[in-house]
Amino acid sequence: MHMDNGGSGYGSVQGGKSHRKVVAVVIGIIVVLGLMAGYRLIDRYLHPETAAVDDTVNVTVADAAVGDVEVTSVHTGKLTAEDEVNVVPKIAGRATSVNVELGQKVSEGDVLFMLDPSDVEAQQSQAEIQRDAAAKGRSSASEGVKTARSMVSDAKDAVKKAKNNLKEAKKALAKAKQTPIVPGSPTAAAGASAVTAAEQMVAQAEAALMQAESAQKQAEAGLTQAKSGYDQADAQYRLANEGVSSAGSALGEMTVRAPIDGYVTGLTVQRGGMVAQAMPAVVITGTGKIQVRTTVAENLVSGLAKGEPVEVFVRAISDEPFPAKISRIVPAPPTGQTTYPIIIEFDMPSDELKPGMFAEVEMVTARAESAVTVPSDAVIIRGGKEVVVVMDGADKVRVKEVVTGIDDGVNVEIKSGVAAGDSVVTEGQHYVNDDSKVRIAS
């Protein structure tokens, strides 16, 4: 037992030594490999290889061409009938009857609804009473004017008569003074008495003329006053008569009729309900042309003209556009707005087009014809300026400043700086300068 134990311990010692040798060899190999790798890195760092540098930039080019450039914009609107009327009563009131319903076809002159006339009839009766009273007052004033004119005529006759009497008295006085008077003669006293009598007649005639002239002035003042009274009475009569006419017209407005042929597309009035003057009670859509009403901004309206073609998309019907044209451009925006209304008419009307449908109008708002154009991507900004890189020979480029115009997102108008036929760089232009070497990619 003891010897077996001894033999077993010796074998363990020999196995441990062999394992440590293997580990040492592996570590040695790793260290050698690490030293070799480090040497190569240091050698590369101390003796770098010189590589050839190619500074040629790959670019893509396109030729500047002559063509048309257009900018389009899309505006939304709704289809409407050419004739669409909002029926608003001229007088507010309570509806006693409604003769139409939504969707009903009506003809011009058909009764749409009626309003209660009782209040207007009462106003008309009162206006007639006032007119009759004013007519009596005007008649009385007219008689006063006639009387005043007669008094003025009589006063003028009295003045004329007084003037003739004064004239005759003065003649008599002159004759009496021409008769010779011999002092102490039997006729002296009689001659003196005749002169005195003639002088008294002249004085009386003068007083009578003054009185007649005063009476004439009073009569003329009375005539002026009578005329003023008549004018006032006549004005009151005219006003009262207008009141009667107005009440009569209002009574006629109690029956509201259709102004055009069409269909009832809006109806807010109800029997027994109140109808206001501010809101449409009935909307009638005519049976004429279908139009599109839309608006454009102030910076676009100057680029549009009556008769210009447009395309209208009505997605509820088709994805294909309907050809149309601008029929009207309103020259000023509505009060409080900044957009200008325009009206579009279809070239070929379709029964599928219905009022109220949503529409998209695509129209050309800017156009340049026979312009020099380049791809929009060719124009870049450098130093705050628009420039284009142009090929200068087979493998060099030049940077040219340009003045651009209309840009449709694909091509841009070049007003100056590039000529038709010039090759411009469309890719790689951001990485080159004047005289940079380039390679045109195939």
What tens digit of pLDDT does each residue of 301-345 get? 888 899 999 999 999 999 999 999 999 999 999 888 899 999 999
Count of CB atoms within 10 A of residue 230's CB?
Answer: 21
Query: What letters, b where the CB count within 10 A reaches 16 and e where it falls short, cover 17-48?
Result: eeeeeeeeeeeeeeeeeeeeeeeeeeeeeeee
- Given a cut of 70, whether residue 101 has pLDDT beyond it is yes
CA distance 416 to 400: 10
Count of CB atoms within 10 A of residue 58's CB?
Answer: 11
Does residue 130 or residue 16 have the better pLDDT?
130
Task: Output the pTM of the full model.
Answer: 0.47
Average pLDDT over residues 4-21: 48
What tens digit of pLDDT does each residue of 62-87 get? 999 999 998 888 999 999 888 888 99
* pLDDT of amino acid 202: 85
* pLDDT of amino acid 243: 86
Q: Which of 163-177, 223-237, 305-319, 326-340 has the lowest mean pLDDT?
A: 163-177
- At 391, give phi and psi (nearest 5°): -65, 130
59-69+370-440, CATH topology level = 2.40.420
Residue 424: closest CA among 395, 385, 398: 398
Confidence of residue 385 (pLDDT cuts 50, 70, 90): very high
* pLDDT of amino acid 62: 93
Angle between the 188-252 and 118-178 helix axes, to the nearest 10 degrees? 170
**Domain 119-252 is found in CATH 1.10.287.620:** yes
Q: Locate tokens 């077993």: which residue?
A: 8
Average pLDDT over residues 287-291: 83
What tens digit of pLDDT does each residue of 44-54 get? 656 555 444 56
* pLDDT of amino acid 7: 42
Q: What is the mean pLDDT of the chain?
A: 85
CA distance 260 to 284: 8
* pLDDT of amino acid 55: 81
> Do 289 and 345 form a contact (C-beta atoms < 8 A)?
yes
Q: How would you write the chain as a 3-class SS string?
A: CHHHHHHHHHHHHHHHHHHHHHHHHHHHHHHHHHHHHHHHHHHHHHCCCCCCCCCCEEEEEEECEEEEEEEEEEEEEEEEECCEEEECCCCCEEEEEECCCCCCEECCCCEEEEECCHHHHHHHHHHHHHHHHHHHHHHHHHHHHHHHHHHHHHHHHHHHHHHHHHHHHHHHHHHHHHCCCCCCCCCHHHHHHHHHHHHHHHHHHHHHHHHHHHHHHHHHHHHHHHHHHHHHHHHHHHHHHHHHHHHHHHHHCCEEECCCCEEEEEECCCCCCEECCCCCCEEEECCCCEEEEEEECHHHHCCCCCCCEEEEECCCCCCCCEEEEEEEECCCCCCCCCCEEEEEEECCCCCCCCCCCEEEEEEEEEEEEEEEEEEHHHEEEECCEEEEEEECCCCEEEEEECEEEEECCCEEEEEECCCCCCEEEEECHHHCCCCCEEEECC
What tens digit of pLDDT does each residue of 121-152 get? 888 888 889 899 999 999 999 999 999 899 99
CA distance 42 to 44: 5
